[in-house]
Structure 1
Amino acid sequence: METKVWLVDKSVDIFNGYPQVAQPAKMLQQDKVVAFPTETVYGLGANARSDKAVEKVFKAKGRPSDNPLIVHIASRAQLDEITEEIPEVAEKLMEVFWPGPLTLIFKKRQGVLSELVTAGLDTVAVRMPDHPVALALIKESGLPIAAPSANTSGRPSPTTARHVQDDLTGKVAGIVDAGATGVGVESTVLDCTEEIPVILRPGGITKEEIEDVIGEVKADASLKNKEAAPKSPGMKYTHYAPKAPFVLVDGNLSFLQHIIDEKQSEGLKVGVFAARENETKIRADYVLAPGSVEDLNSVAAGLYDTLRKFDELPVDVIYGEVFPDTGIGAAVMNRLLKASGHRVIRHE
């Protein structure tokens, strides 16, 4: 399959039409699959009403079919078309955070979306992306767009069109290239169908920010305990992993250095995923830093690109530092734990 790439300028006025997305929008209307940028990561979009289109997403990614997809919309009218009811807490959150990196789970309206989108659940995950090109594409297509991250399932999510090309060239109809994304980690997923809303995935909007608007929210038990049953089927899979084994190290720098030295003495090439402050303090074959521990937003923004860079290096094992799990650090640590398969070496 030929994969067409469109280079577009993200500084656009989406309300006056956007001819640069006309062709990819038409492809979506034809039930083809198109990757596009959002403010978090690149998404792999398909007509959320079509079984034929959604099947192509699962096939291109190699994604398990019991893993629901997030539906991306560009207007309140689209939300009303696909949901049964809008809880008051959701209204408050949409007023503050939409468009933005917050996915809300609602009771779905029956018979509107492909059942493949919701994996047979009676709920649907919806968000309105804060990216002019994404909004223009959705508006131009006139469709709700089902879109997981535009990468091979299990791999680090894509924050540039090049990442998408590396994984999916020849597997999708097209890629809309509008440069690097901003937030760097996926949206926060919040279940609004419970009496006390539940965070199913930490992301670009923090727990603290949500609670400032609606009061108490809970975190799903499986976020902290890998043995707990996840509420959403997709939460049970390993994600974001580089090709070499990735292990987190919870301890000081001397403890980490001891582990590195031990592996190097066995003849192994060692990579380290570290905070920028420690980049020159660690002796390893390769040390890559996504950002500063003093600015966890920078770590989030550089996380996936850094994990992917290790795939270009001759490393046998990668060790990762542990970051504070407050604010957006909760999303960073969630992704790192997923990437490591919850393998953590702790300094006793």
Structure 2
Amino acid sequence: MAQYFSVHPFNPQPRLLRQAAQLLGKSGLVAIPTDSSYAVVAALDDKRAAEALRRLRGVDERHHLTLLVADLSEIGQLARVDNKQYRLLKAAMPGAFTFIMQATHEVPRRLSHPSRKTIGVRMPDHPVVRELLKETGPLLSSTLIPPGETEALNDPVEIRARFEHELAAVIEGGPCPNRSTTVVDLTGPAPEVLRLGRGDPKLIGIEG
């Protein structure tokens, strides 16, 4: 049975987040609220956990998993960032954006796209996520969409019931907007919006 941590949405209890972090350190998967929808996260350097996350989502290695970070300095360790991209990221983060970027050698090869060597990077604007990342460092994540479905789950009680054997814990931290992030590809000559979601492209100078 997955553990259930009910935390304050703006001032989450450190004790409960430390317990969740400990489960992540033992190859566990944890469902967390974000500024878009619920996501499932795993420790970044844990191969077994990454494989379990892909099984839970029903995706293969060609599906971009996303790295959650707490600040811009962490992005520089995981992705190649030039000055123009840095200014763009600074304008958009934290927020409901996912950026596709070229991975650095710090990222395990199994976590990047096998042919493009790219990763998704995201800094959610959510107090629970920010405080959890202080305990864990960058985490591997994916929107919690069950295999064969198209909508993300957004009820923590339902998430626990459906994935009680796959998840180590569920963190309940209030309602999520339940709208996907805006995905922006930064690997080409100019930023390209691949999916329009909750993040406003005008924040990064893209019209439409």
When normalised by structure 2's length, the TM-score is 0.90
Tell me whether 1:103 sits opposite 2:103 in the alignment. no
Query: Which residue number corresponds to residue 141 of structure 1?
Result: 136
AA aligned to 1:160 is D
Distance 2:182 2:81 in 1: 18
Deviations 1:246-297 (A, max 9, x none): xxxxxxxxxxxxxxxxxxxxxxxxxxxxxxxxxxxxxxxxxxxxxxxxxxxx
CA drift of 1:206 comes to 3.0
Q: Report what 2:82 is aligned to.
A: 87
* Counterpart for residue 75 of structure 1: 71
Q: CA deviation at 1:190?
A: 0.6
Task: Give the one of 163, 166, 169 matched to 1:168.
Answer: 163
8 Å CA contact 2:72–2:90 kept in 1: the answer is no
Matched residue of 1:39: which SS? coil
Residue 166 of structure 1: how far off its partner (Å): 4.3
The 2-side partners of 1:154 and 1:206 are apart by: 28
Mapped partners of 1:204, 1:154: distance in 2: 23
Answer with 1 or 2: which has the greater Rg. 1
Instruction: Say yes or no: does 1:7 pair with 2:24.
Output: no
Q: Distance in 1 between matches of 2:76 and 2:142?
A: 21
Paired residues in the alignment total 206
Structure 2, unaligned runs of 5 or more: none
For 1:206, the aligned partner's letter is D
Determine whether 1:18 maps to 2:26: no
1:68/1:116 contact within 8 Å kept: no
Partner SS for 1:21: helix
Contact 2:40 2:142 (8 Å CA) reproduced: yes
Does residue 1:32 correspond to 2:28, yes or no? yes
- Partners of 1:196 and 1:10 in 2: CA distance: 36
Higher relative contact order (CA 8 A, sep 6+): 2
Shift of 1:215: 4.8
Unaligned runs of 5+ in 1: 217-326, 328-348
Q: 1:35 to 1:215 in 2, by over 3 A?
A: closer
Task: Give distance in 1, aligned partners of 2:57 and 2:110.
Answer: 14
Give 3-state SS (helix, strand or coil) of 2:77's partner.
Answer: helix
**Counterpart for residue 45 of structure 2:** 49
Amino acid in structure 2 at the alignment position of 1:191:
D
Larger relative helix fraction = 1
TM norm structure 1: 0.55
The match for 1:195 is 189
CA contact (8 A) 2:113 2:119 kept: no
Contact 1:151/1:164 (CA < 8 Å) preserved in 2? no
The residue number in structure 2 matching 1:214 is 205
Question: How far apart in 1 are the matches of 2:10 and 2:34?
Answer: 13
Q: Which amino acid aligns with 1:75?
A: D
Instruction: Kindly state the Cα deviation for residue 21 of structure 1 after the two structures are TM-superposed.
Output: 0.3
Shift of 1:12: 1.2
Paired-residue identity, %? 23
Matched residue, 2:153:
158
